[in-house]
Structure 1
Amino acid sequence: MEIEMKYWRKLTAEQRRDRVQKALKDNVDFSKDANLGYPASRLDDQVFTTESTFLKEMPVLSSYIANPNHIGCHTFGTSEFAFRGTQDIEREVLSMIAVDLFKIEEGQFDGYISPGGTEANIQAVWIFRNEFMTKYRAKVDEIVVLASEDTHYSIPKAANLLMLDWERVPVDPESRALTEEEVRKSVKSALGCGKKYFIVIANMGTTMFGSVDDPEVFTGVLKDYSLPFRLHVDGAYGGFVYPFGDFENRINFSNSDVMSITIDAHKMLQAPYGTGIFVCRKGLIAQVMTTEAKYVEGMDLTLCGSRSGANAVAVWVILTTYGPHKWFEKISVIKMRTQWLCQQLDKMGLSYFREPEMNIVTIRAEAIPDAIAKKYNLVPKTHDQSNEWYKIVLMDHVEIEHLKDFLQDLQRSRREIGAGL
């Protein structure tokens, strides 16, 4: 992977601390200033003390105590003046992600740090639904969401909330890959139901398998039929893993069909839960402007409205702690551990699925005794008797020693079953 970055840099602890402290000073200070109009304040100091001297050395915790509200979208129009300091940090971190990681041109994106990937995915579907309704005078029942059967549940949730139908495309049961044949069948089925406009979801790391969709399997078929479509990439899981590999990655904004991307910072990036990221091409997010939010400077373009500015600071601090090279190194180590696990499973003759550039290994359920699944907290595909798969996620805390213990227990169990014990 070539690592040429314009915004993403590794900073020293002192540089990070000073940058965040400057941002907080540029924000309103509820402990000193007379701010009479905001339904907001710092965190309650009867519960969250501000006296501890170590807080000055902890930029993320300092931000949580200060409690900045990042309501609105700070890449579009104007924003609440009271939180301008940490809004600048949010813009900086969005540039690291949109420009450096996902290859969009400078200044050609909008986005925000969302409360999670589910909201970010809903935000994308909401934008494209409204765009079709505005641009083509489309009726709601003429718009369809097209996504694979392995797609995250936030997509049918989005379809349900926005009164849209979801066309569920089957994948190959072994490779988990989309095929042109199945996409074509699904498109024809949708057309037969009166659908004319397609919101396409391509996965960059599905939740259960870590599988990655080829967006061109979708877009090639839709272009064959000359159908209007918008393409969203759900990289909530894989966004901080898949791009870091020695291969040419085109699942980003260098592909002109990609309109928006979701990434979660509270997965691989280990940010606090409730930290997602949404980025889209410039000019799209205006489709969801809530003009009724007139008391909000710049009004609102997000699903959630009020959101924590401290989460944006957390993402900024994590990325600048590592820098792109150290992050590449960290992900490479995790991928090597994943490959080691796969080699051991191969030696045992067990059936599993692994996307080559991802860190999830999904094993056939019949190979995993219930006791072992429970001991190691393996996650099933379904929580009932029909479950076919268990997954192992190679997160930062999962080391070779943990995997060795799991494999030894698995081998012992297989021997006991073979001996009829």
Structure 2
Amino acid sequence: MNQAVPVAASVADVFRIDRFARADEELLDQLDEFIAAMRAQKPYVLGYPGNLDFDYRRLGGLLGILSNNVGDPGSYEYPAAGSKAMERAVVEFMTQLANGDPYETYGYVASGGTEANQFGLDRGCTLLPAAKIYCSAAAHYSIRKNARLMRKPLVVIPSDYTGRMDVDALAHQCRQEHGRGAVVVATIGTTMTGAIDDVGAIAAAAAHAGEVYIHADAALSGLILPFTPWRNTWGFGHRDVGSIAISAHKLLGMPVPCALALCRWEFVDPQVEGEYVGVTDATLGCSRSGLASALIWYSLARKGATGLARNAHQALDTAEYAAGRLDEAGLHPILLSASITVTFDRPDEWICHKYHLATEGDRAHIVTVPHVTESVIDEMCLDIIGSRP
């Protein structure tokens, strides 16, 4: 059995919590050091898709209140101590970006992409209880985790060299499950290459099993595609897509992980839960972070669709720049259409560590979210060239 990796004792000792209270000044000094260290690393975090270009310190007053969103965003709870009005505005705006009708779409702010994915899979498996879950080998590992937690059989379909699901292999598997239906995860921006699965082809291939429910994991590209030529066809633009997950902390930039869980209303049946709070609740989280909803609302309202478009185009342009510089450095980069993920030959380990590169086998990648600059890409390329014998 695999054992959890223990935290180094020297690190744990620094933050040890003892029996007796410690002085506030000492604790605040430690936090200041922690914050400074994190900020010093910000320019060099290239391999992971969390946009660090944000500053919510002006909203510090939110840390002096409890904002707890209980139950459905549209359901009034007796305590009324949350930010549901902001959450509803966020859901409506994001639904429209995903080509959905706000009057026909249910949604809420989840704790992260994993929960948003589980929400979509739960809706699909409730609709098709005999169906297996299908995902590509390039799908995010949260799909495997969620299938295990849901005690549902998972069929992992090979992906091609770009990371897209092999629809012929999917069709082969689904022919063996004729009449049982299929719950399929279409990845809209795979973890390592940023590949976008062909939803139409997936729907046709999975139809060999019978009725099909597609969940779109758009954690990475959900705030990119609305500002590309795919804008009118992605997401709920495909009639076979029943639910979508879109991370907020990736392209938008958040101090806490959070995501949008969106689903067609026809697949959601809110029930009255928790009589003492008086709400209907189709969410997975029950009590949810009202802070996250308030922060997302502020960011979206401050940027508007035009600001989000600028973010997306900047990220796409930086990816093109990175691919060019990495090509000049002889690192065989690959940049897929509408992607902000650039894969390339894996450099020395010290370079992977310095620039927080995500690696898989002999390849590495960077994700050009808005805090990633051309100057840091140049610095990385110079380091790579300089490391050669």
Establish whether TM, by shorter chain, passes 0.5: yes
Match of 2:243 among 242, 249, 260: 260
Distance across 2 between alignment mates of 1:203 and 1:339: 22
1:264–1:275 contact (8 Å) kept in structure 2:
yes
Confirm or deny: 8 A CA contact 1:231 1:259 kept in the other structure.
Answer: yes
Asked whether 1:126 is paired with 2:122, we answer: yes
1:357-376 counterparts in 2 under 5 A?
Answer: 357-365=338-346, 368-376=347-355
Q: Letter of the aligned partner of 1:308 in structure 2?
A: S
Match of 2:102 among 94, 100, 106: 106
Map 1:79-158 → 2, pairs under 5 A = 79-83=76-80, 86-99=83-96, 101-133=97-129, 142-158=130-146
Deviates more, 1:118-127 or 1:179-188: 179-188
* Contiguous gaps of at least 5 residues in structure 1: 1-46, 48-56, 134-141, 382-386, 417-421
Alpha-carbon shift at residue 181 of structure 1 (Å): 1.8
Indicate yes or no: 2:300 matched with 1:316: no
Return 5+ residue gaps in structure 2 as ranges: 1-26, 28-55
2:173 is equivalent to residue 186 of structure 1: yes
Alignment of 1:390 with 2:377, yes or no, is no
State the alpha-carbon separation in 2 of the partners of residues 247 and 197 from structure 1: 28
Partner Cα separation in structure 1 for residue 58 and residue 204 of structure 2:
47
In structure 2, relative to structure 1, the CA distance for the partners of 1:187 and 1:60 (3 Å cut) is farther
**SS of residue in 1 equivalent to 2:307:** helix
Alignment of 1:280-299 (within 5 A): 280-286=263-269, 289=270, 293-299=274-280
Matches within 5 A, 1:61-72: 61-72=60-71
Tell me the distance in 2 between the aligned counterparts of 1:318 and 1:257. Answer: 31
Match of 2:286 in 1: 305
Residue 270 of structure 1 aligns with an amino acid whose one-letter code is G
Which residue of 1 is the match for residue 306 of structure 2?
325
Residue-by-residue CA offset, 1:224-258 (whole Å, 9 max, x unaligned): x2611111110111111232224554122122111
Between the aligned partners of 1:292 and 1:319, the Cα distance in structure 2 is: 31
Identity level (%): 25
CA deviation string 1:129-188 (max 9, x = no partner): 12224xxxxxxxx32111111111111111111111111111112x22233322222323
Secondary structure at the aligned position of 2:266 is classed as: coil
Identify the residue that residue 19 of structure 1 maps to in structure 2. none
SS in 1 for 2:135: strand
State the Cα deviation string for residues 323-371 of structure 1 (Å, max 9, x = none): 1112211221221111011112223332233222121112233xx1222
Among candidates 171, 187, 191, match of residue 203 of structure 1: 187
TM-score (norm 1): 0.75
- CA spacing shift, 1:59–1:399, aligned 2, 3 Å: closer
Q: What is the aligned length? A: 336
Preserved contact between residue 170 and residue 202 of structure 2 (Cα < 8 Å) = yes
Task: Report the secondary structure of 1:273's partner residue.
Answer: coil
Instruction: Give the Cα–Cα distance (whole angstroms) in 2 for the partners of residues 195 and 345 of structure 1.
Output: 49
| Deviation of the 1:275 alpha carbon | 1.3
Paired with 1:376 and 1:410, the residues of 2 have a C-alpha distance of: 11
Q: Greater RCO between the two (CA within 8 Å, min separation 6)? A: 2
Q: For the Cα contact (< 8 Å) 1:176–1:211, is it kept in 2?
A: yes
Partner of 1:52: none
Distance 1:338 1:188 in 2: 39
State whether residues 60 and 317 of structure 1, in contact with CA within 8 Å, keep that contact through their aligned partners in structure 2.
no
1:237 equivalent in structure 2: 220
Residue in 2 that maps onto 1:276: 259
TM-score if structure 2 supplies the norm length?
Answer: 0.80
Residue 299 (structure 1) shift: 3.6
Shift in CA distance, 60/115, structure 1 to aligned 2, threshold 3 Å: farther
Match of 2:325 in 1: 344
RMSD of aligned Cα (Å): 2.3
Q: Residue 83 of structure 1: SS of its match in structure 2? A: coil
- How far apart, in 1, do the equivalents of 2:363 and 2:275 lie? 49
Residue of structure 1 equivalent to 2:198:
214
